[in-house]
Chain A
């Protein structure tokens, strides 16, 4: 069973479109995250949710809106996509503070 799964794995879309990436974890963790990995492999946290509540919003443009319908899901919706949004987006979860994060396989978003 996949612990953290995100869909789709690849997403190619035109500038200006709106798209969503879905994430689900079956680990029973309280905390979920979205990270963005740029072309140089640098990982930057975007959002963190704990028990469906937003904990961290790291100065991400408001075109990005996370939604957590329940503790096991954290979806990412992106409006008005821009070329600079092209990256790999990783969902992750962790059981709490001081613990490691478990990552999904990533969604490679390409905006053309």
Chain B
């Protein structure tokens, strides 16, 4: 079946550091890929998405590129802020017609001043 693998956290960075959170996926077809963010005590919010190979999703300084050859969708940000502290989930939408979104385990990011 489909699956998403992402690095376990927590990831602790100093403010203005460079962020990479790795994500790889397994899917039978050509899924759409997403990054969601969950701030403490809140629900999940879509951060960015990419729907086909080589697409780059971007939002709020975050970027991720859909790499079909490596089945990856790594999240990057050049300079993190304390307000970026949250849990980040990589996800894919099932291309098999079951209309479900499969999530990775989530990576907790802590940014310290």
Which residues from chain A sit less than 8 Å from chain B, CB to CB? 31, 33, 35, 40-43, 45, 48, 50, 55-56, 90, 92, 94, 96-106
Chain B residues positioned under 8 Å from A41 (CB to CB):
38, 87, 105-106, 108
A–B pairs, 20, beta carbons within 8 Å = A41-B105, A43-B106, A45-B102, A48-B98, A48-B99, A48-B100, A55-B100, A56-B100, A94-B99, A94-B101, A97-B93, A98-B31, A98-B32, A98-B51, A100-B32, A100-B34, A101-B101, A103-B44, A103-B45, A104-B43
Q: How many A-B residue pairs have CB under 8 A?
A: 69
Chain A residues positioned under 8 Å from B102 (CB to CB):
45
Which residues from chain B sit less than 8 Å from chain A, CB to CB? 31-32, 34, 36, 38, 42-46, 49, 51, 87, 89, 93-95, 97-103, 105-106, 108
Q: Which residue of A lies closest to B92 (CB)?
A: A98
Chain B residues positioned under 8 Å from A100 (CB to CB):
32, 34, 46, 49, 93, 101
